[in-house]
Structure 1
Amino acid sequence: MHISTLFFGELDVQQSEVFTFTQGVPGFESLTQFILVQPEGSAPFSYIQSIQNGDLSFLVVDPFLFFKEYDILLPDNLQEELKIDKPEDVLVWSVVTVNSDFTKCTMNLLAPIIWNVKEKLAKQIILHDSEYNVKHEIVLSEAAQVEG
């Protein structure tokens, strides 16, 4: 299928690339179908792009790259909902907010996106009773700033 996006232009999407948010994305509950876009030179950042609304994408990153001590426990009902059998089938993403000064980005550790790559199912969850918040500053090393 072909989709037109705000940031990436025209994309040719294979059905095998599409993953489903089981309850939509918070704030956009009717949008359930997304793809992962990883433009050249954007590592370690990626984008979750809606295939239903080409204007909607979220900048995401693996939170463990910046916060090695980040620790979350996935409830049994979430593992059932996302059909998670093995930890290696799971990716965790955090939504990134970019400020006018790119070196002052923040990531949302309170509401990670849990993605079962094997089953192509995802859900953004809220970690209740957590020390994490929605704006953890990302400290980019000088090397990452030069590469990015």
Structure 2
Amino acid sequence: MKISSPVVGEVEVSPERVITFPAGLPGFEACRQFALLHPEGSEAPKLFMLQSLDEPEVAFTVTTPDIFGLNYEFTLNDSEVDDLQLTDPADATLLVIVRRDADNPVHANVMAPLVINTATRRGLQKIIGKVDTSVTLKAIG
């Protein structure tokens, strides 16, 4: 399928790159289909674009939590496991949404990581009430 986005331009997205968020994302509940994109030719990208296929103007910059020195440990409830169709914990991967301000600091939403089942390509945003960790920030790029 071909998408046209004001953020990434015109891109061909193969069906196996589509990630379904059954409940959408908080504040973007109508956006349920996304593609995870990265720059062409980048063998080990640090930043990715999570592009909505439902609303082309919606896109999020995401990265893995280890870029910030984060190591998450939390439990998914039965409903979340069902939504993800998760049968093997090794299939779960985490991403965090990041943004960059005009003066260039990078901010990560560490309280609401994205959990994606890589086997079924289903995801959800896990809202965490409390983080029991120390955060060490590392530079991106």
Please, what TM-score do these two structures have when normalized by structure 2? 0.86
2:29 is aligned with 1:29: yes
Q: How big is the shift at 1:138?
A: 4.3
Query: 1:51 aligned to 45, 50, 53, which one?
Result: 53
Change in CA separation of 1:105 and 1:138 when aligned onto 2, cut-off 3 Å: farther
Q: Deviations over 1:70-129 (max 9, x none)?
A: 333222331122111112211101110211132x1010111111101111101112012x
| Maintained 8 Å contact 2:84/2:123 | yes
Determine the structure 1 residue equivalent to 2:10: 10
TM-score (normalizing by structure 1): 0.82
Moved over 3 A (4+): 136-139
The residue number in structure 2 matching 1:79 is: 81
RMSD of the TM alignment (CA)? 2.0
Give the AA of the match of 1:139: K
Structure 2 counterpart of 1:113, which letter? L
Retained in 2: the 8 A contact 1:112–1:124?
yes
- One-letter identity of the residue aligned with 1:72: F
SS at structure 1 position matched to 2:7: coil
Higher-helix-fraction structure = 1
Unaligned runs of 5+ in 2: none
Instruction: Provide Cα deviations, 1:23-82, integer angstroms capped at 9, x if missing partner.
Output: 011111011000000114582111100011211100011112322443332223311221
Q: SS of the residue aligned with 2:24? A: coil
Q: Residue type matched to 1:107 in 2?
A: A
AA partner of residue 85 (structure 2): K
Q: Is the CA contact 1:106–1:137 (under 8 Å) kept in the aligned structure 2?
A: no
Q: Return 5+ residue gaps in structure 1 as ranges.
A: none
Percent identity, aligned pairs only, is 29
